[in-house]
Structure 1
Amino acid sequence: MTNPTAAMLVIGDEILTGRTRDANMHFLAGELTKHGIRLAEVRIVPDVQDRIVAALNALRADHDTVFTSGGIGPTHDDITADAVAAAFGTGIDVRDDARAIMQAYCDSMGRDLNEARLRMARIPDGATLIENPVSAAPGFTLGNVHVMAGVPSIFQAMVAGVLPTLTGGDPLLSQNLTVMRAEGDIANELRRLAERFPDLSIGSYPFVREGAYGANIVIRGTDGARIDAAMTALSALFPEAAA
């Protein structure tokens, strides 16, 4: 079975300017891997509606599911919900169930449900809500797109709520071998190994430690026996290496 693929769209000027370091991609990739879904593509776009719409339409056409992060807060530059509605060609407005969630949260915190906070209750037509157990303001799912907050704790909670609803594939497995040689010295052997095991992903990730060159060779796939066989062949190529 071919494992489903996912894409992530990270939205926000603060990511592109370096003011905020994105932590959500790393978390999402790990959680999807456990679920048998491959994170195949990630894009980062600014707070510009046309750019969000174009990227979202491309990603949702190419992948089984798309996760977005960022841009669903109370400020003027939080335009993700409007962009998603535009991408799907649907309307958007404050929705009663989202308003009720926000009203209950504001009441519990002794805050007013003012115009800014009410922006977080604007939901595209036809979407279903994603629960936010951290700060109440919901995300939403429309088609194969899951729209989530950019704050890591909220994003993680929303992912936990969405993942059980997705169809996964076989668990994605991996094994690693560290080879203390420069990539240029092992490239031919790795190419031949990849040709022997075309059903597996064989990646080389170089490093320098105390002036010495090396590479972590990672073999990934869904068939444990095939990975074991490839690792045996890899170890035979570099008997001095450490797993």
Structure 2
Amino acid sequence: MAMDADLVTAGVLVIGDEILSGRTKDKNVGFIADYLTQLGIDLKEVRIVADDTDAIVEAVNAMRACWTYLFTTGGIGPTHDDITADSVATAFGVRIDHDPRAVDILTRHYQAGELNEARMRMARVPFGADLIENKVSSAPGFRLENVHVMAGVPSVMQAMMDAIAPTLRTNSALLSETIDTGVGEGLVAEPLRIAQERHPEVVMGSYPYLRDGLFATKLVLRSREQDKLKAACEDIETMLADLKGQRQAQI
């Protein structure tokens, strides 16, 4: 299916050695995917990279050029390996320093004497970036052009998504229909191929599952146009009825 130039798309970049090592199980990608779907934004790519400046810079520059929005999670905390902010600054070729707005937020959040050098790292923001509000722990994320840099802690990331959402462009709602074929994926593959060729504007996927020891398949059809989705569903239902009729005749 050809990519619509006006389609609003997104990529997610997960940053952190702890994700790649398995010490931390990612809980953010699924949330962001669901969140963007509800908004009407098509998530097209997810990458995971280590806490490595070159890897982060390469991924940020590649993904921000491909998609309408890029959302990153992880690596903006107070420790020495939290290098996302510096890496994003490098990717954009801009300087980075303590942002007076972020410093003010942290100063008001922490008690006297608590705002140490490590915590002040969370106030370092690339020049030209806007801050992303953090209602959970105050330390802000930031947005630079189409790149949104968020925390890796799920509760904080979710709060930041809520802050970002009103600023995003969206597509019309993506409509979805599910057809339970009751037959294995091998049997439904050819009707599905034919239907996809007949209805290129509808995205079709097949999802096998096991029922009573036998494999069956659910088809999920998605489109932003109700009439095209309905036509595709009717076409598949007709082909499935023919298929089941042929199988019954052979018994």
Following the alignment from structure 2 to structure 1, what is the Cα–Cα distance between the partners of residues 211 and 71? Answer: 36
Q: CA deviation at 1:23?
A: 1.7
Q: CA deviation at 1:111?
A: 6.1
Partner deviation per Cα, 1:115-158 (whole Å, 9 max, x = no partner)? 11000000000000000000000000001000000111111111
Question: Superposition RMSD on alpha carbons, in Å?
Answer: 1.4
**Which one of the candidate residues 26, 32, 37 is aligned to 1:28?**
32
Following the alignment from structure 1 to structure 2, what is the Cα–Cα distance between the partners of residues 184 and 208? Answer: 14
Q: Which residue of 2 aligns with 1:192?
A: 194
Segments of 4+ in structure 1 off by > 3 A?
A: none
Q: Which residue of 2 aligns with 1:140?
A: 142
| Runs (5+) with no aligned partner, structure 2 | 245-251
Give the count of matched residue pairs: 238
Following the alignment from structure 2 to structure 1, what is the Cα–Cα distance between the partners of residues 124 and 32? Answer: 25
Partner deviation per Cα, 1:137-182 (whole Å, 9 max, x = no partner)? 0000001000000111111111111111011111111111122222
Structure 1 segment 112-123 matched on structure 2, within 5 A = 112-123=114-125
Pair 1:75-2:47 in alignment: no
Q: Which residue of 2 aligns with 1:164?
A: 166
Q: Which residue of 2 aligns with 1:223?
A: 225
Does the CA-based 8 Å contact 1:8-1:68 persist in structure 2? Answer: yes
Structure 1 segment 101-120 matched on structure 2, within 5 A = 101-107=105-111, 112-120=114-122
Q: Which moved more, 1:94-103 or 1:203-212?
A: 203-212
Please report the TM-score for the alignment, with normalisation by the length of structure 2: 0.91
Structure 1 segment 85-96 matched on structure 2, within 5 A = 85-96=89-100
Q: Whose radius of gyration is greater, 1 or 2?
A: 2
Please report the TM-score for the alignment, with normalisation by the length of structure 1: 0.94
Does the CA-based 8 Å contact 2:179-2:219 persist in structure 1? Answer: yes
Q: Secondary structure at the match of 1:198?
A: coil
**Which one of the candidate residues 31, 45, 67 is aligned to 1:41?**
45
**Which one of the candidate residues 48, 51, 54 is aligned to 2:55?**
51
Q: Which residue of 1 aligns with 2:21?
A: 17
Following the alignment from structure 2 to structure 1, what is the Cα–Cα distance between the partners of residues 232 and 37? Answer: 20
Q: Which residue of 2 aligns with 1:206?
A: 208
Letter in 1 for 2:187: D
Following the alignment from structure 1 to structure 2, what is the Cα–Cα distance between the partners of residues 62 and 176? Answer: 30
Following the alignment from structure 2 to structure 1, what is the Cα–Cα distance between the partners of residues 144 and 90? Answer: 12
Partner deviation per Cα, 1:170-213 (whole Å, 9 max, x = no partner)? 11111111222221111111000000110110011222234211
Q: Which moved more, 1:81-90 or 1:22-31?
A: 22-31
Letter in 2 for 1:83: S
Does the CA-based 8 Å contact 1:70-1:148 persist in structure 2? Answer: yes
Following the alignment from structure 2 to structure 1, what is the Cα–Cα distance between the partners of residues 212 and 117? Answer: 57
Following the alignment from structure 2 to structure 1, what is the Cα–Cα distance between the partners of residues 48 and 14? Answer: 5
Percent pairwise identity: 50
Q: Secondary structure at the match of 1:238?
A: helix
Following the alignment from structure 1 to structure 2, what is the Cα–Cα distance between the partners of residues 73 and 93? Answer: 15
Following the alignment from structure 1 to structure 2, what is the Cα–Cα distance between the partners of residues 127 and 82? Answer: 12
